[in-house]
C-alpha cells in the first residue's frame, strides 16, 4: 500500500470516531442522536470486496438511511468474512457469474459497484438489467462513450445511476460552494487542483490499462477535474495537457504517470491542474476570485478536510465521507432528494468527456475543445 493511502487509512479511524459526535444538519437532520429514524432505508449490496469496498462497508455501519445487506464477490473467503462481520444472510451473497439472480431478491434495493474501473461498464449494465438501482465508483467508466451507454441503460431499465462522488457531500467543500454561489469570492478567475500520490506495487490493476483504463488521471486526477467544476461552478470548454513519464517500465503505454493540464471555462476563468502517481503529499485545491479565495488542504482525501478562505478558517464539522454519502444517496434514491452538486451518471459522463479530451490533448499537443 502506498504512503498516501497508509496515511489516509490511519486518519480514517479517527475520522470514524469523530463522526459519532453530533453532526446534525449535515448528515441527516432526522437523526439527531436521540430521535430514532423510522423512514425508508436503502438496502445495499456491495460488489467488489477490496480496499475501498471495505472502507464503504465499515462507514455504512454508522448510516441511518442505508444498510449493507448483501455482497457480490469472486472470492468465497471474503464472502464468509463479510457474512460473519456484517450479518449478511447466505441468500444475499452472489458471485460475478450468478449476480443477475439478484433480480429475484426483494431484500436488495441497490448494488454499489466497487470493482476496477474498466469493469464498471459491464457490471453496471448487468445490474441495471436486474432492475436494481446502481451506485458506481469513480471513474464511472474508462471513456465517455461507455459512460453514456451506462446512463442510457439505467434510464431504459428505470433505475437510478449514482456515482461515488463523496466530496459532493463534504461540509467544508459545500461551504466553499455556498460562498462562491453567494458571490463572496466575486467573479471566479482561477482554479488550481493538485492531486497525486506515489503508487506502490507495480503489479496492481491500477497500472494495468486493461483494468484501469489509464493511469493517474483516471484514479486521482479525476478529483482535480471534478473539483474544478464544483469549485468554479462551470464546465471547462477547452484543455491543453502535457504528460511526463520518468518510469516507462512501471507506467506502460496508456498508463499515465504525471499529467499537467489547463482548462478554460466559458466565463474566461482558467484552471491549472496536476495529476500524478509519482509524488506524495499532493492534495490541494485553490480557488481565486476578484474579491476572495479558498484553499483546501487536504482537499479530497478521506479527511479531515481542512480549508480557509479570505474570511478565515473553515470550521464545518468533520464527517466520515462514505457514511454521509450513503445516507444522502439513500435520500436521493428513495425520496428524490436533490444534492447541491449532482452525483448522477450525467455528471460522470461530463468528467469522462474531459478525461477523453485531456488524453487527446496530451497526445496531439494541441488545445482541444470539450463538447458536452
Ligand atoms: P481493490 O483492488 O482494493 O479492490 C477491487 C476489488 O474488485 C477486488 O478486491 C475484487 O473483489 C474485485 N475484482 C473483480 N474483478 C477483479 C479483477 N479482475 N482484478 C482485481 N479486482 C477485481 O481496488 P479499490 O477498492 O481500491 O478500487 C475499486 C474502485 O473503487 C475503483 O474504481 C477505484 O477508482 C474506486 N475507489 C474510489 C475511492 C473513493 O474515494 N471514491 C477510493 C479508492 C478506490 P472480490 O475479490 O470481492 O471480487
Cell of 52: 475501498
Atom of ligand 1 nearest to the CA of 75: 46
Q: Indicate if 138 belongs to the active site.
A: yes
302 Cα–ligand 1 center, Å: 17
Strand order in the sheet with 282-289: 312-313, 307-309, 293-296, 282-289, 188-196, 270-276, 258-264, 238-244, 368-369
Which of the residues 65, 94, 112, 138 is marked catalytic?
A: 138
DSSP state of 333: H
Q: Is 176 exposed, middle or buried (CB count within 10 Å of its CB: 0-12, 13-18, 19+)?
A: buried
Q: Indicate if 359 belongs to the active site.
A: no
Residue with CA nearest ligand 1 atom 42: 52
Question: Which carries the bigger pLDDT value, residue 234 or residue 22?
Answer: 234
Q: Which domains does the chain have, with CATH numbers?
A: 4-165 (3.40.50.720), 167-317+340-369 (3.30.360.10)
Nearest to 234 by CA among 270, 261, 259, 260: 270
Q: How far is CA 62 from CA 13, 228, 247, 323, in A?
A: 13, 30, 42, 6
Residue with CA nearest ligand 1 atom 43: 52
Nearest to 18 by CA among 317, 298, 300: 317
Q: Residue 163 in 3-state DSSP?
A: strand
Residue 37 confidence class, pLDDT cut points 50, 70, 90: very high
In degrees rounded to 5, what are phi and psi of residue 179?
-65, -40
Residue 34 confidence class, pLDDT cut points 50, 70, 90: low
Whether 260 has a pLDDT exceeding 50, the answer reads yes
pLDDT given for residue 18 in this prediction: 35
124 Cα–ligand 1 center, Å: 14
pLDDT (tens digit, 9 = 90+) per residue, 300-329? 999 899 999 999 999 999 999 999 999 999
**217 and 258 in contact (C-beta within 8 Å)?**
no
pLDDT given for residue 1 in this prediction: 32
Which of the residues 165, 223, 230, 302 is marked catalytic?
A: 223
pLDDT (tens digit, 9 = 90+) per residue, 17-28? 333 332 322 334
Residue 13 confidence class, pLDDT cut points 50, 70, 90: very low
pLDDT (tens digit, 9 = 90+) per residue, 263-302? 999 999 999 999 999 999 999 999 999 999 999 999 999 9
5 Cα–ligand 1 center, Å: 14
- Find the mean pLDDT for residues 343-362: 98
Residue with CA nearest ligand 1 atom 2: 50
**48 and 113 in contact (C-beta within 8 Å)?**
yes
Atom of ligand 1 nearest to the CA of 53: 25
261 Cα–ligand 1 center, Å: 27
**Which are the contacts of 318, defined by CB distance < 8 A and separation ≥ 6?**
15, 18, 19, 171, 303, 304, 305
pLDDT (tens digit, 9 = 90+) per residue, 120-171? 999 999 999 999 999 999 999 999 999 999 999 999 999 999 999 999 999 9
pLDDT given for residue 20 in this prediction: 32
pLDDT (tens digit, 9 = 90+) per residue, 74-98? 999 999 999 999 999 999 999 999 9
Kind and range of the H or E element at 71? strand 66-72
Percent of the chain whose predicted confidence (pLDDT) is above 90: 90
Query: Within 6 Å (CB) of ligand 1, which residues are found?
Result: 48-53, 73-75, 78, 114-117, 119, 137-138, 164, 166, 205, 211, 219
267 Cα–ligand 1 center, Å: 38
pLDDT (tens digit, 9 = 90+) per residue, 322-331? 999 999 999 9
Kind and range of the H or E element at 47? strand 42-47
Amino acid at each position: 500500500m502506498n504512503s498516501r493511502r497508509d496515511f489516509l487509512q490511519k486518519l480514517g479511524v479517527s475520522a470514524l470516531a469523530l463522526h459519532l459526535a453530533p453532526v446534525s444538519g449535515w448528515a441527516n437532520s432526522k437523526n439527531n442522536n436521540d430521535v430514532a429514524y423510522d423512514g425508508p432505508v436503502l438496502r445495499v449490496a456491495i460488489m467488489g470486496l477490496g480496499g475501498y469496498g471495505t472502507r464503504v462497508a465499515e462507514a455504512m455501519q454508522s448510516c441511518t438511511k442505508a444498510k449493507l445487506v448483501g455482497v457480490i464477490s469472486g472470492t468465497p473467503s471474503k464472502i464468509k468474512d463479510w457474512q460473519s462481520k456484517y450479518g449478511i444472510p447466505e441468500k444475499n451473497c452472489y458471485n460475478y457469474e450468478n449476480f443477475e439472480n439478484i433480480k429475484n431478491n426483494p431484500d436488495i434495493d441497490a448494488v454499489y459497484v466497487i470493482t476496477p474501473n474498466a469493469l464498471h461498464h459491464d457490471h453496471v449494465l448487468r445490474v441495471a438489467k436486474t432492475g436494481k438501482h446502481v451506485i458506481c465508483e469513480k471513474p464511472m467508466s474508462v471513456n465517455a462513450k461507455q459512460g453514456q451507454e451506462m446512463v442510457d441503460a439505467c434510464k431504459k431499465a428505470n433505475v437510478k445511476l449514482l456515482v461515488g462522488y463523496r466530496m459532493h457531500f463534504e461540509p467544508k467543500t459545500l461551504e466553499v460552494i455556498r460562498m462562491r454561489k453567494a458571490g463572496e469570492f466575486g467573479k471566479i478567475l482561477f482554479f488550481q487542483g493538485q492531486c497525486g500520490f506515489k503508487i506502490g506495487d507495480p503489479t496492481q490493476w491500477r497500472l494495468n490499462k486493461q483494468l484501469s483504463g489509464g493511469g493517474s488521471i483516471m484514479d486521482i486526477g479525476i478529483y482535480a477535474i471534478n473539483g474544478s467544476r464544483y469549485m468554479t461552478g462551470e464546465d471547462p470548454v477547452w484543455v491543453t495537457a502535457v504528460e511526463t513519464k520518468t518510469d516507462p517500465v512501471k507506467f506502460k503505454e496508456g498508463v499515465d504517470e504525471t499529467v499537467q493540464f489547463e482548462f478554460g471555462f466559458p466565463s474566461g476563468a482558467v484552471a491549472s491542474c496536476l495529476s500524478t502517481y509519482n509524488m506524495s503529499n499532493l492534495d490541494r485545491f485553490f480557488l481565486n476570485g476578484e474579491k476572495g479565495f479558498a484553499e483546501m488542504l487536504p482537499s479530497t482525501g478521506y479527511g479531515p478536510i481542512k480549508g480557509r478562505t479570505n474570511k478565515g478558517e473553515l470550521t464545518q464539522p468533520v464527517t466520515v465521507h462514505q457514511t454521509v454519502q450513503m445516507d444522502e444517496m439513500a435520500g436521493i434514491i428513495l425520496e428524490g432528494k436533490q444534492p447541491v452538486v449532482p452525483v448522477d451518471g450525467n455528471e460522470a459522463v461530463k468528467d469522462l468527456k474531459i478525461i477523453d479530451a485531456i488524453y487527446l490533448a496530451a497526445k496531439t499537443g494541441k488545445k482541444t475543445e470539450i463538447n458536452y
